[in-house]
Structure 1
Amino acid sequence: MKESTPSQRLLSLDTLRGFDMFWISGGEDIFAVLAKVTGWSWAVFMAHQLTHPAWHGFAAYDLIFPTFLFMAGVSVPFSLGSRLEKGVPPSQLIRKVIQRGLILVLLGIIYNNGIFHTEWSEMRYPSVLARIGLAGMFAQIIYLYTGKRARWIWFAGLLLGYYAFMMWYPVPGCGAGLLTMECNPASYIDRMILPGRLHLKIHDPEGLISTIPAIATALMGIFSGELLRTSEEKISQNNKVVYLLAAGIISLLLCLVWDYFFPINKNLWTSSFVLCAGGFSVLLLAFFYWIVDVLQYRRWTFFFVVIGMNSIVIYMIGSYINFEYTAEALFGGILGFFPDPVRAVGGEIAFIMVQWAFMYLLYRNKLFLKV
């Protein structure tokens, strides 16, 4: 832990990051419980959207992870770009980039397995944090050592190359072009090279091979960050919003077309999924940037900023602190006076309040986990 020294921070980015993390820190449970106890059609719809499809397809819940990786990319031109402009050579920055990526891999292993808590053969090495660390690291390396045109070539090459590999690589006993859990090339290679266990035994949604196209997700964030960092003398704030909206819509249209040939699939992080999730992420960034940084409507952001400024903490802390016990101890007695539906929904809200109070204590004392 150390004090944060943010420079050139976008309040909209911290707000969007907190909004994104809110849903996996209890927000989705509110709608799940609300749908169960009321049966309201809109609550059922929301609860369905806050679950993952079994394999192919896309739901709102699929957007949380790639949006976080996308936002990590958005911050790159602000953090690394400013240093490059001051004359700091990439060779001096690369060590920190690699260190950050490997620390996130280590944190992911700890999150999955604890510390000396799991047998080596039973440890799961892939993780959400590892994908963010590795994909973000390679995207930053591309940013440091290539120009804008080369970055776009890398972006297209990653998506097209992954498509070619997934469709043409023959899996023994299956052949080529099958994208089932058993027969897709990414899972097959992961089974051969990854130690320990895979999350679903024959497949891991955060596997090593499907991390390769995730680099393109981070690059989409870098492209967006470069646009937002451009001087307002060259591109006005309103025009930046327009460009982001156009880019997001084009990405979604391309993903719909590609879906016919290479299905949208978060488990495999298919190229069409990169464009789909990336398109929505760009649109969300445009909306938050317009509301928060252009129109300056900021009072409502504080709730999410408290979460967004310590996003890794809010992701990991639930495995080590029993917020549910605390919420029950503080609010369970009061909620007992209400009917079951109110008590059920109120319990989820109380859980979020307790988590947020803990995050606020960190925020107020300027304690931010920086990797």
Structure 2
Amino acid sequence: MRTSDLDLSAGRVLSIDVFRGITIFVMVFVNELSGINDIPWWMKHLPASTDGMTFVDLVFPAFLFIVGMSVPFAVQARARKGENPLQQFKHLLLRSLGLVIIGVLMVSTIGGFDESQMALSMPVWTLLMYLAVLLVWAQYPRHGAAVIRNLAQGCGVLALVLLAYSFRGPDGSYISPQWWGILGLIGWAYLLAGTVFLISRRVSHVRLQLLLLGAAACFFLVLFALLDGQAAVAGQPAIGFIQRWAVENNSHTHTAIVLAGVMLSILCYHPALQAKRSRNLLLFAGLLGALALASWQWFPISKIWATPSWALFSAWFCTLLFVAVFVLVDLKGYQRWCTLFAPAAVNPLLAYILPYILASAAAIVGATLRPAVFDSGVAGMLWSLAFAAIILLLTALLTRLGLKVKL
């Protein structure tokens, strides 16, 4: 084992799985909650111009953070299978591309389409798109015939191509990125942060690796200002393709959050750091909090603009939350309460797209998933909680039946 590697002998890490499962649960809850009227302000996304954040604004960065925590384990597992750095980067690139493709397709189902110019209604188009996604990225049994797997994936790819070709915008245009969608934004940040981690693995000493990762995270945060971040906050157009791409997608600040997750994973699980783990975690959390407060003096906290202060506060909150889970689950051994979140943790992409699959299927027959009586107030909040629990239970059932989606 390299001196900069984590110990993988224990297999899956339950605390990371639980944190991922909780994030999925809260994500489904707040997505359903977004259609509910008459709820408290702190249960909604804050407007871009408001200097602050709610727990709802923490869900997306929590996804980024947990992606970062998983990166060292995923890369090292592939290295143990004999893959060289170039092969690992190829896998990283393909996973990122998959996230971007699914993200763009999901965004296209929400707006920017003209059904009158399309051969299929949008609910039918949406359902077929998700079914094609399942065909392409389903995890097929290893003992199954390769020809069946290749045929199914080929049919899925063909279906996605035909669906993309049949898409029409209001001006008759073909499908194009309106924005990258949540999964697409995760894909770009994963690609950048994963590449940095692959480079950092060339450093043999774990403390030097942490310094390199920290310097890279700071660089991506400073990049916000260098790429005219203040202009982006003011709503002014950026200049140049690279600058426009970076500012519009906020990949630099998103990448910093992923890298923070990578660093916390190393601090928690690297064998050489176990003796002083408590001190290291305290220092890491304290440094993140101090940097968050300092950056707040120059940049407002805004999820929509993905400001450095929002990124740092998000990483700080995620660190505190994960450490709490880590202590309860890994150190104290309180694990019985984790049962609800485990299936979503091992099958997160299915849990993420399942509500959209059900909604599109209901829309085809002219129905909605949520009865009108639950459209507002406390009833709507209780419905959202119940809906999130049902999605996790359905994910558990489908996972047990063998349906797993993995990029």
Q: TM-score, normalised on structure 1?
A: 0.75
Q: Secondary structure at the match of 2:301?
A: coil
Question: 2:183 maps to which residue?
Answer: 129
Where do 5+ consecutive residues of structure 2 fail to align? 1-8, 110-162, 204-208
**Is 2:328 the counterpart of 1:291?**
yes
**Is 2:397 the counterpart of 1:361?**
yes
Question: 2:294 maps to which residue?
Answer: 257
- Which of structures 1 and 2 has the larger relative contact order (alpha carbons within 8 angstroms, sep 6+)? 2
Question: 1:162 maps to which residue?
Answer: 224
1:258, distance to aligned residue in structure 2 (A): 1.1
Change (3 A) 1:91 1:274: same
1:30, distance to aligned residue in structure 2 (A): 6.4
**CA–CA distance in 1 between the matches of 2:315 and 2:273?**
25
**Is 2:46 the counterpart of 1:52?**
yes
Query: How do 1:222-237 residues align onto structure 2 when only pairs under 5 Å count?
Result: 222-231=262-271, 234-236=273-275
Question: 2:353 maps to which residue?
Answer: 316
**Is 2:189 the counterpart of 1:138?**
no
**CA–CA distance in 1 between the matches of 2:277 and 2:34?**
34
Change (3 A) 1:18 1:221: same
Question: 1:12 maps to which residue?
Answer: 15
Give the partner amino acid of 2:22.
F
**CA–CA distance in 2 between the matches of 1:154 and 1:192?**
18
1:22, distance to aligned residue in structure 2 (A): 1.3
Kept in 2, the 8 Å contact 1:241–1:290? The answer is no
**Is 2:305 the counterpart of 1:268?**
yes
Change (3 A) 1:306 1:118: farther
Q: Secondary structure at the match of 2:228?
A: helix
1:265, distance to aligned residue in structure 2 (A): 1.8
**CA–CA distance in 2 between the matches of 1:212 and 1:155?**
9
Question: 1:170 maps to which residue?
Answer: none
Query: How do 1:17-56 residues align onto structure 2 when only pairs under 5 Å count?
Result: 17-26=20-29, 36=38, 44=40, 48-55=42-49, 56=51
1:350, distance to aligned residue in structure 2 (A): 4.3
* Matched pairs, number: 327
Which of 127, 141, 150 is the equivalent residue of 2:212?
150
Q: TM-score, normalised on structure 2?
A: 0.69
Change (3 A) 1:121 1:83: closer
Question: 2:159 maps to which residue?
Answer: none
1:132, distance to aligned residue in structure 2 (A): 0.8
Give the partner amino acid of 1:77.
P
**CA–CA distance in 2 between the matches of 1:331 and 1:105?**
29
Kept in 2, the 8 Å contact 1:324–1:351? The answer is no
**Is 2:254 the counterpart of 1:218?**
no
**CA–CA distance in 2 between the matches of 1:234 and 1:359?**
36
Q: Secondary structure at the match of 2:387?
A: helix
1:223, distance to aligned residue in structure 2 (A): 0.8
**CA–CA distance in 2 between the matches of 1:30 and 1:258?**
31
Change (3 A) 1:91 1:150: same
**CA–CA distance in 1 between the matches of 2:270 and 2:45?**
37
Change (3 A) 1:226 1:307: same
Question: 1:81 maps to which residue?
Answer: 76
Question: 1:183 maps to which residue?
Answer: 236
Give the partner amino acid of 2:236.
C
Deviates more, 1:144-153 or 1:113-122: 113-122
Write the deviation string for residues 188-208 of structure 1: whole angstroms up to 9, x where unpaired: 6679967xxxxxxxxx9x933
**CA–CA distance in 2 between the matches of 1:155 and 1:17?**
22
Question: 1:66 maps to which residue?
Answer: 61
Give the partner amino acid of 1:25.
V
**CA–CA distance in 2 between the matches of 1:331 and 1:180?**
36
1:347, distance to aligned residue in structure 2 (A): 3.8
